[in-house]
């Protein structure tokens, strides 16, 4: 360990949150998906699950509003085994594993590049028997059919998940977008995806995100897919494709808090690239969001 590393000696990962008593299911099941073959511009996301786990030890089970959530139980099943190749070679196995998460337990999936979301959404649609709505927080809609000459680029991640999961695009809310291929804009308009660009989100006040989602969610549960590049590069430089004009950390956490009261289905957090980061600030931004989500599992009566 060099002098610039966090000293986590004596600390437990995930803020010391424990598995449940034997025989009962955890509130949250964590799996890592160290995939970066979908990062066609710059790799590095495969290193994220290990770094997020290690740095999770410096957190405490207390929300930013000073609420204790040490009763949340977690089970960390480590990283899923991947075969050599892109997500196309792994999508069925990853989806099957996540789909095996017990009912009533929320999957927390640590990518990996954003193609991690494709099998995650397939699994969630299966677990919830189609009663799934999606909040996809990203600078990019990831709705290309083919990007960089492959169907398994991160620029296709949401499109693949919707297709393979047979998920209605009208159940998707995109939040924080600001970079598009024209094919994606056409898909959004034609298929009825709800788009909240970063510029719009920045001007929202009060509970507009919760109102927007609440007006359409019905009896669905909400899965959140967080691409850390939704944040402005000043808050999250350590990612494959930083894009100016993004959300602030404050806005992102406030949007999450608005969703207390919405039934949550799970979370995947992707595109954190530790080799591209500066002083771990991007990993720590992702972990801040993850820990506020964990707090919502009990405090917000999600799940
Ligand atoms: Mn993405």
Q: Based on the number of CB atoms within 10 Å of its own CB, is 148 exposed (0-12), middle (13-18) or buried (19 or more)?
A: middle
2 — pLDDT class (breaks 50, 70, 90): low
Q: Ligand 1 centre and the CA of 157: distance in Å?
A: 7
Residue 67 is assigned to a structural domain of this protein: yes
The pLDDT of residue 23 is 86
Q: Please report whether residue 12 resides in a domain.
A: no
| Boundaries of domain holding 166 | 27-299
205 C-alpha to ligand 1 centroid (Å):
25
Question: In this predicted structure, what is the pLDDT of residue 205?
Answer: 85
Query: What is the spatial distance between Cα 126 and Cα 3, in angstroms, rounded to a whole number?
Result: 46
> How distant, in Å, are the alpha carbons of 16, 20, 99, 144, 298 from that of 23?
20, 8, 19, 43, 20
Cβ neighbors of 23 (< 8 A, separation 6 or more) are none
227 C-alpha to center of ligand 1: Å?
A: 5
On whether residue 181 sits in a domain, the answer given is yes
pTM of the model: 0.97
Q: Residue 4: what pLDDT?
A: 82
2 falls within a domain: no
Distance (Å, whole) CA 291 – CA 200: 26
Once rounded to an integer, what is the mean pLDDT over residues 19-41? 95
Determine the distance separating the centroid of ligand 1 and the alpha carbon of 220, expressed in angstroms. Answer: 23
pLDDT of residue 117: 98
In a domain, 6, yes or no: no
User: Tokens in use for 79?
Assistant: 């990283």
> 56: CA distance to ligand 1 center in Å?
23
Q: Is 225 left (phi over 0), alpha (psi -120 to 50) or beta?
A: beta
Q: Above 70 in pLDDT, residue 6?
A: yes
* Average pLDDT of the residues of the chain: 96
Given a cut of 70, is residue 1 above it in pLDDT? Answer: no
Domain for residue 108, yes or no?
A: yes
Give the per-residue pLDDT at 263.
Answer: 94
Cis omega before residue 112 (within 30°)?
A: yes
| Alpha carbon of 272 to ligand 1 centroid (Å) | 11
Residue 8 in domain: no
Burial group, residue 3, by CB count within 10 angstroms (0-12, 13-18, 19+): exposed
**Domain CATH number, residue 249:** 3.40.800.10
The verdict on residue 18 lying in a domain is no
For residue 301, report the distance from its CA to the centre of ligand 1, in Å.
Answer: 28
| % of the chain surpassing 70 pLDDT | 98
**Percentage of residues of the chain with pLDDT beyond 90:** 95
Chain segment 194-239, per-residue pLDDT in tens: 999 999 999 998 899 999 999 999 999 999 999 999 999 999 999 9
Domain count, the chain: 1
């Amino acid at each position: 360990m060099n002098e610039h590393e966090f000293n986590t000696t004596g600390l437990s990962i995930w803020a010391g949150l424990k598995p449940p008593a034997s025989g009962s299911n955890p509130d949250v099941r964590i799996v890592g998906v160290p995939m970066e073959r979908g990062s066609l511009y710059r790799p590095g996301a495969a290193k994220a699950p290990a770094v997020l786990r290690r740095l999770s030890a410096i957190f405490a089970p207390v929300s930013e509003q000073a609420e204790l959530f040490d009763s949340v139980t977690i089970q960390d099943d480590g990283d899923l085994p991947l075969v050599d190749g892109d997500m196309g070679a792994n999508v069925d196995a990853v989806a099957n594993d996540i789909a095996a998460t017990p009912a009533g337990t929320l999957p927390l999936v640590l990518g990996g590049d954003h193609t991690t979301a494709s099998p995650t959404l397939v699994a969630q649609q299966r677990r919830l028997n189609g009663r799934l709505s999606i909040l996809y927080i990203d600078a990019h809609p990831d709705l290309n059919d083919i990007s960089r000459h492959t169907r398994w680029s991160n620029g296709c991640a949401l499109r693949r998940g919707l297709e393979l999961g047979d998920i209605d695009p009208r159940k998707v809310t995109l939040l924080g977008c600001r970079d598009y291929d024209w094919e994606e804009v056409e898909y959004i308009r034609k298929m009825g995806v709800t788009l909240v660009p970063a510029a719009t989100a920045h001007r929202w006040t009060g509970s507009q995100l919760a109102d927007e989602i609440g007006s359409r969610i019905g009896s669905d549960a909400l899965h959140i897919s967080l691409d850390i590049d939704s944040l402005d590069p000043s808050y999250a430089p350590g990612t494959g494709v930083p894009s100016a004009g993004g959300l602030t950390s404050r806005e992102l956490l406030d949007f999450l808090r608005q969703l207390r009261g919405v039934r949550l289905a799970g979370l995947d957090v992707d595109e954190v690239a530790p080799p591209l980061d500066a002083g771990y600030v991007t990993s720590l931004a992702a972990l801040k969001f993850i820990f506020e989500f964990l707090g919502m599992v009990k405090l917000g009566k999600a799940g």
